[in-house]
Structure 1
Amino acid sequence: MVKRTKLRRVNSDQYLPQASPLVPTTPPRVSPGRVQGAIALLTVGAFVLIAADCWMSWEGFSQLPVDWWIAASLTGLIAITQIGAGVIQSIGGDPFKGIGGSAQGDGGWGIILRGLYLIDIFSNFAGFGGVQYLSLDRLTADPLGAIGLVLWNGVLAILLAFGDEILFRIRDRIAIGAAVNGQLAKLRAIQIETHNLVLQAYRERAMAYARSLGEKLPISFDRLEGKEDV
């Protein structure tokens, strides 16, 4: 009768790696690559819309009886003023208050700022070709069609005037709100790296333990020689 040797389990509980309590396991909600890509895309899109707004304003001013230098000055003034006003609103301020230095000054400044916005919208409206639909002949021949085209070009002019500000606000919200997400991503990367080190050390110990068990096991060729237990 051949004596059978009972093997011990190699994967004992004492060799299982334990999670570190010092590293949080909360993963980031969004991958940092996607966040940075969205920020870059919104930033580029906002500046593209600024350029488009300036170009359309220039096209609109070109149809009006004004000199080129007046058109260029108004286009630059509108673009720069809107960028500054958008930043003031994004940080929680009111661009119509506190700049004039007094109540009367704020009143005058508010009229100027609103006028610049209206000039921007009207110049975009003219650049899109909406002025031609305001003629009496078109309104008389096809009133519903002319009014519809006027409204359509007006919507386009408003969207182009405020499109860059919309994108900049979304971009700033993402950039500020992604700070915690970025920290969680860094902690997650550290957690994965440390866990991989634990697994690597565990593998080395497990292999060494398996070799020590293999060296202690008795050598038997009974099964290879066709002998069975009786």
Structure 2
Amino acid sequence: MIQYDTVKVIAFDADDTLWVNETYFRDAEHKFAQLLSAYETENTIDQELFKMEMKNLPIYGYGIKGFVLSMVESAIELSNGKISNKVIAEILQIGKEMIDMPVELLDGIEEVLEQLSKKYRLLVLTKGDLLDQERKLEKSGLTKYFHHVEVMSDKKEKNYSDLLEHLEIDVSEFLMIGNSLRSDVLPIINIGGKAIHVPFHTTWQHEEVSPQEESDEYDVVKNITEVLQYI
């Protein structure tokens, strides 16, 4: 059984841990496929868009803006350069609508933050576009619960180790809570910290892991409120 008695600092992922996010990307992909339906099937369009996102990830990083640029580039390639300015404008509008979406908190999250903030130092560690994540956090009304917010370029072991060192946090006293095994859980386990996995019903393909990568070194909860049973 995993023990949490040494934990002093708890970090939360943001997207799909504090609030809904991936659902909006799936909706945007569907709209994009409809715009490109004259050129390919929706399945092929989805596959090509994902390939483009992966190719562009080292250039644009995570977030809506990079996603929109990948949609534009995919539209040009899938149409062999025939895509109209009107469709490009509609793609840009999809991105603007994503940015303007209201922040929908996940059930129970504020109750959990209110309880934990009385006993622990709370952080937000998230990937994505800086302006977009700052906007969502402000709209969420959750800022008051957190001592520090960090928008990370990536969430690999070294990213976490460097950040914890910078914030003067002992990894043995650190707990990460998030929806992604690849980004929020496994890297922390690998550097000696603790993590709790809170799966979201929709997961970006890039964040999926194979069954072989899973382990019994972290706890899994169905709802964020179950975290209170552990810590």
Give your verdict on TM over 0.5. Answer: no
Q: Which one has the bigger strand percentage? A: 2
Which is higher, the Rg of structure 1 or of structure 2? 1
Q: Which one has the bigger helix percentage? A: 1
